[in-house]
Structure 1
Amino acid sequence: MSGTTGHRLVGMNNSPITSLTTSGLLTDKVAFIIGAGRGIGAAAARLFAREGARVLLAARTQDQLKAVTEEIREAGGTADYVVCDLTDPASVRAAVNRSVELYGRLDVAFNNGATGQLPGPMDQLSEADFDHVCAVNLKGPWLAMTAEIAAIRGTAKHGAIVNSSSVGSLMGNPQLPAYGAAKRAANSLTASAAATYGPEGIRVNAIAPGPTLTEMLHEWDEKSPGTIEQLNAQTPLGRPADPEEIAQAAAWLLSDRSSYVTGTVLRVDGGMGA
């Protein structure tokens, strides 16, 4: 966890400069993280705790949540977890409200839950798979934001929300058409929420990661060998992101250091969209 420092520096003409006290990006904030059992969400939970937040992890898989929570606690952070199904409205509301029960309020939320689809043209995707992709990647963030805004409004009064989108939402996505479409629609929800709740002091943004070394990417590469290599060739930085690199962007958007940023979809894509 980031500490605080304060010391004297010497500036021009040997005049003393007293440095400002600094602390973690999220010191004293209560953070709720959906999809926190693995990948970007787990990296975000670890990072947010190091940056001073008290975190509540949510996902469907209890074993994964428990492991990440215990890791954070062993490192000196404050963490707990709750099992949550993004397709179940009651489950989402209960998970968000748990943060208030545990910590007394909610300041920030990172909606990172997602599901992929079988890669391929849209005419080869079943209707059931299309519905599931939309239920998790579009309706899920809507359910989460609705509950989070109520919790922030009722406790901390102001705060910030970040939704996890995808660089695939910002361009044609022939291999993941339903996934890209659902994420693009979530971008619109993000902008609408930012415009609606900004006057109350609630900021809402999204991040659009490029290829990131998560289980989803590895599964895609297994089903379509060479995918990671092809994506690297399309990325100016020439590599996929580590999950913590994406989490760093979310942490900044949730922090007070981005206090004038709302309604944006921030590319974190290694230059893929350049």
Structure 2
Amino acid sequence: MNDRLLTDRTAVIYGGGAIGGATARVFAREGARVFIAGRTPARLDALASAIAAEGGTVVTAQLDVHDQRAVERHAEQVASTAGGIDIAMNAVSIPHDQGTVLADLSVEAFMEPIDGFLRALFITSKAVAPFMGRERPGVILTLSEPGAKLAAPGILGHGVSAAGKEAFSRLLAAELAPSNIRVVDIRPHAIVDAPAAGSYTRELFHQFAEASGTSVQGFLADALAQGTLLKRLPTLAEVAEMAVFLASDRASSVTGTVINLSAGALVD
């Protein structure tokens, strides 16, 4: 009996960084045929080798998710090869400013995460949607952050971007439901092991850690984790396992919502 959750599913993951890589490995473990696209060939090659060594199936492609035509061609190639697309996840990272207040923030820095993340979501979702929901339901997964609902100084661009990603997912769910496609957003807090896995958050949190006279891991454990109900932060494994569950038939009635993985930093 095959009890893997994503057997015979085709999944496209955009972004080969910490979250994308962790999710790709768990998707492959659960039987999906994984296509992962990102900007850095060396990182993609290392991920492909790891997945192959674990017995999974993965195909990689170097891709700029802001190049709409290139993303469309890639989706067309995946669908042609695999007979369609069942799952898509956007895990693209956009380095951006956090910590600068309005008086010192440029409009370019403010707009960077808003344009970067939302443009990537629009382009990738538009590319995969035509190949989903034919023989079985399709699933589009997005990622946001607690900044979507926080009222805190220094995160204007970040917070508006996070709120925009959640609004995009909610509205897209309504639009694609008649096409048999679910859309779900995952909102983790700062992921405790992401910096060590090569995430851009290492550089992002370094400035805060330095100001506090501690290390990045110390800042995460002391400043951020202590602000959660559980007194800890989510892990890459927890995000990846949730993504697998949401992409599977076990979550077949879940759409148009945000899954809160903030460990209680936010309480809905």
Pairing 1:266–2:250 present: no
Q: CA deviation at 1:29?
A: 0.3
- Choose 1 or 2 for highest CA Rg: 1
Gaps of 5+ in 1: 5-21
Q: Deviations over 1:84-133 (max 9, x none)?
A: 21222122222322321332210011111131322222443333333331
**1:173–1:88: structure 2 CA closer, same or farther, 3 Å change rule?**
farther
* CA apart distance, 1:267: 0.6
- The aligned length equals 252
Tell me: CA distance 1:136–1:86, structure 2 relative to 1, closer, same or farther (3 Å): farther
Find the partner of 1:216 among 191, 200, 225.
Answer: 200
* Partner residue in 1 for 2:146: 167
- After TM superposition, give the deviation of residue 261 of structure 1 in Å: 0.6
Match of 1:95 among 68, 74, 79: 74
Aligned residues: percent identity?
30
| 3-state SS, counterpart of residue 31 of structure 1 | strand
Matches within 5 A, 1:1-274: 4=1, 23-35=3-15, 37-120=16-99, 121-153=101-133, 156=135, 158-212=137-191, 213-214=193-194, 215-225=199-209, 226=212, 227-228=219-220, 229-274=222-267
Give TM-score, length-normalised by structure 1.
Answer: 0.86
- Letter of the 1:150 partner, please give it: P
Paired residues of 2:146 and 2:162 also in contact (CA < 8 A): no
For 1:10, the equivalent position in structure 2 comes to none
- How far apart are residue 156 of structure 1 and its match? 4.3
Q: Matches of 1:94 and 1:116 in 2, distance apart?
A: 26
Q: What is the Cα-based RMSD across aligned positions, in Å?
A: 1.7
1:108-161 alpha-carbon deviations (Å, 9 max, x no partner): 1111113132222244333333333122211110111111111215x5463111
Contact 2:14 2:91 in 1 (8 A): yes
Tell me whether 216-225 or 105-114 shows the greater mean CA deviation: 216-225
SS in 1 for 2:84: coil
Please give the secondary structure, in 2, of the residue aligned with 1:52: coil
Q: 1:216 to 1:176 in 2, by over 3 A?
A: farther
Aligned CA distance change for structure 1 residues 123 and 32 (closer, same or farther; 3 Å): farther
SS of equivalent to 2:200:
helix
Measured after TM superposition, the shift of residue 237 of structure 1 is: 2.0
Query: What is the TM-score of this pair, normalised by structure 2?
Result: 0.88
